[in-house]
Amino acid sequence: MTKLTKDFLWGGSIAAHQLEGAWQEDGKGPAIMDFATSGSVTTPREYTKTTEAGRHYPSHEGIDFYHRYKEDIKLFGEMGFKSLRISIDWSRIYPNGDDVEPNQAGIDFYQNVVNELLRYNIEPIITLYHFELPINLVTKYDSWKNCQVIDFYLKFVETMVNALKGKVKYWVTFNEMNHIDPQTEASDMFTYILSGLKYSELEGNKKEILAVIGYNMTLAGVRATKLIHQLDPTSHVGCVFGITPKYPVNCDPINVMNAFKDMDRDFYQIDAMCNGEFPKYKLREYADMDIDIGMTEEDKQAFAEGKLDYIGMNYYMTEVTRYEGGEIDEESLFGGVQNPYIEKSKWGWGIDPIGLRYLLNYTYRRYGLPIIICENGLGAYDEVGADGSVHDDYRIDYLQKHLSELKRAVEEDKVDCFGYLMWGPIDLVSATTGEMRKRYGFIYVNKHDDGTGDLARSPKDSFYWYKNLIETNGEEL
Ligand code: BG6
């Protein structure tokens, strides 16, 4: 029987802007998320472009990983992590994005982090873009609307691959660029966190701008893939997509069709990165909207030559597609309807372990490439006992159920899944709400939404559960 492989990559995923802090240290420049205030479920984050007195910007201190990474990696090592996915903050390396020379202190930091991981035999997986765009590339160049930004990105990629070559095997070109799509009524939030531009502030034809941004990022992705392969032929290059499978509300064919289209929208970039060409159906869609993304012969070649080695998937929830005449009492994160058959988290994210098995099957059958789950986890309120303990049985339950489904996808359905990276193995700042109290970690961090807390780290119950799971390679699920 097919089993999880002995070298299955058990581990976790983190992102620079959500935990490093030190936002102005050692030559780092300001990046887009440094201007995102904290928010909550009811008060959305604001994206201010300058820091304003009296407001709290959670990325500025994060959980101070910049100074505490050794302590944190030691804890990951204690859990037996086989892998950790980190992101490199572009603004530590090229503070303005368009600098001629890189900032050596930034390179040193990531070399030190990678060395520390290797000391514990933890395989580093490096994301080169996890919402950390130098703000100067937005204010001076208009972000990804401008193809020049692709060249700046490739220069940054080259610098980091050369700096980490021989130590890093797995690269990720982008995190969740699929949240930009001209077909949907886009939100300020995802437009901003991916490009530093607020949707409401886009001037001119908004749909066209989103199409161009999505296209340019996809092109940057395939060009980076080719470049990394050239710089290090032993490298494995992937891209990470955040997919929320969409279910129809019932078997009325029109609802099934709508759900199909709703879900399919998230796949055009994966098609472009795996099939050797930018999808024709997307170009026709753009033509119908009078959008010309200006694809050149050179671009076509880049798509042919920059194919992915593996696919990374972030999975948190499923949604039910909106339907005509339907009542919406509570909208889900991506505009869908809540599913009455499943529970939801305190933040309204539908908890659906079988959705993970569905997504793994769907993606594997469509592309036949190895897949790694790069994010999955439960954001929850944790209570700390008088003795410092956190009894997070709800988190264990969530992970246990999701991992059981992942195992079934591998063992029963024969999906080639080579790793599972839990999101936020240490408490960090939430990307969508900017909160600290939306906690994911196996490790509790004493830091609160008002900025107080001594940042002390302590293991929760789930820490020991995951450690045992890794030791037994998932046998006890
Ligand atoms: C993913 C992002 O979409 O979701 C992460 O890649 C993010 O950066 C994660 O943190 C969970 O979202 P949130 O808002 O709960 O932090």
- State pLDDT tens for residues 368-395: 999 999 999 999 999 999 999 999 999 9
| CA of residue 432 to ligand 1 center, whole Å | 6
| CA of residue 375 to ligand 1 center, whole Å | 8
Q: What is the pLDDT of residue 41?
A: 82
CA distance 240 to 85: 11
Q: What is the pLDDT of residue 343?
A: 95
CA–centroid distance for 350 within its chain:
18
- Which residues, listed in sequence order, are joined to residue 125 by a DSSP beta bridge? 85, 170
| pLDDT greater at residue 126 or residue 337 | 126
Q: What is the pLDDT of residue 210?
A: 94
CA distance 223 to 190: 23
| CA of residue 440 to ligand 1 center, whole Å | 10
Mutation to probe ligand 1, out of 179, 376, 426, 430 (largest number of atoms < 8 A from CB): 430
Q: Is the CB of 419 under 6 A from ligand 1?
A: no
3-state secondary structure of 428: coil
Q: Is the CB of 431 under 6 A from ligand 1?
A: yes
What value does the mean pLDDT take over residues 320-346? 78
Q: Is the CB of 438 under 6 A from ligand 1?
A: yes
CA distance 397 to 403: 10
Q: Is the CB of 218 under 6 A from ligand 1?
A: no
Query: Does residue 92 have a pLDDT over 90?
Result: yes
Query: Does residue 185 have a pLDDT over 80?
Result: no
Catalytic residues: 176, 375
Q: What is the pLDDT of residue 330?
A: 62
Q: Is the CB of 175 under 6 A from ligand 1?
A: yes
Q: Evaluate whether 88 touches 146 at the Cβ level (below 8 Å).
A: no
Q: For residue range 412-466, what is the model confidence (pLDDT) as tens digits?
A: 999 999 999 999 999 999 999 999 999 999 999 999 999 999 999 999 999 999 9
Q: Is the CB of 375 under 6 A from ligand 1?
A: yes
The protein residue with its alpha carbon nearest to ligand 1, atom 5, reads 431
The answer to whether the pTM exceeds 0.85 is: yes
Q: Is the CB of 176 under 6 A from ligand 1?
A: yes
User: What tokens were used for 72?
Assistant: 């944190």
The protein residue with its alpha carbon nearest to ligand 1, atom 4, reads 431
Q: Is the CB of 225 under 6 A from ligand 1?
A: no
pLDDT band at 476 (very low <50, low <70, confident <90, very high): confident
Q: Which residues contact 319 (CB under 8 A, 6 or more apart)?
A: 244, 245, 246, 247, 332, 333, 334, 335, 336, 337, 338, 339, 350
The protein residue with its alpha carbon nearest to ligand 1, atom 3, reads 242
| CA of residue 264 to ligand 1 center, whole Å | 21
- Which residues, listed in sequence order, are joined to residue 47 by a DSSP beta bridge? 36
Which atom belonging to ligand 1 lies closest to the Cα atom of 432? 14
The protein residue with its alpha carbon nearest to ligand 1, atom 10, reads 431
Q: Is the CB of 430 under 6 A from ligand 1?
A: yes
pLDDT band at 34 (very low <50, low <70, confident <90, very high): very high
The protein residue with its alpha carbon nearest to ligand 1, atom 9, reads 431
Q: Evaluate whether 67 touches 107 at the Cβ level (below 8 Å).
A: no
Q: What percent of the chain has pLDDT over 70?
A: 98
Q: What percent of the chain has pLDDT over 90?
A: 89
Which atom belonging to ligand 1 lies closest to the Cα atom of 429? 16
| CA of residue 130 to ligand 1 center, whole Å | 10
Which atom belonging to ligand 1 lies closest to the Cα atom of 377? 11
CA distance 353 to 344: 12
Q: Is the CB of 376 under 6 A from ligand 1?
A: no
Query: Does residue 338 have a pLDDT over 90?
Result: no
3-state secondary structure of 261: helix
Q: For residue range 252-291, what is the model confidence (pLDDT) as tens digits?
A: 999 999 999 999 999 999 999 999 999 999 999 999 999 9
